[in-house]
Structure 1
């Protein structure tokens, strides 16, 4: 099966920049509204994951979690984390960089589901 979460080169570059400043990072994709609908980047350990979160994979060597409810909507897709110009979530570390993380997705092929 294909990786469930991957990152573009732009996102990986932003992750490296943030890691140089903040150390190890972690990501969380929830299904909430507003900021919660974007992938949020935190210093590792600054966001407490719980029983309702799943470790989806890693991007740039950093763990990427998703809420179980949101995973049910997206389990048939690969999440592609990108970085674009703009302001991110107010609690996400990339805000001061003038960039924001963005989730794109694509449906898995039948071969990738196996």
Structure 2
């Protein structure tokens, strides 16, 4: 319970310390940047609406909650990467063990072939 409510206490604390400033939303311009820059009598657009304190509070709550979800997803992703590395490590060790067994079998086969070659040449010389 303590972990799930911790983010809310942080948000609430930030609201109590925040100042009561109004935020002005400017309208989006559909004109290209070149048209705005070339216009000599450029004036700043008038604000569409003033955002109320409740809107600011809602925006901040959403931002903090999205940050909380992003941090939780990042922690889950980190643990998933660690699990993936563990599984890959096990798989690579298994693969290298199989490769070493095959190489050992090839070496034993080569020793047998060389031994037969030597024994065969030794038998031909003494006959």
Global fold match (TM > 0.5): no
Question: Structure 1 or 2: larger strand share?
Answer: 1
Q: Which has the higher contact order (CA 8 A, sep 6+)?
A: 1
Of Structure 1 and Structure 2, which has the larger fraction of its residues in helix?
A: 2
Instruction: Point out the structure with max Rg over C-alpha.
Output: 2
TM-score (norm 2): 0.19
TM-score by length of 1: 0.21
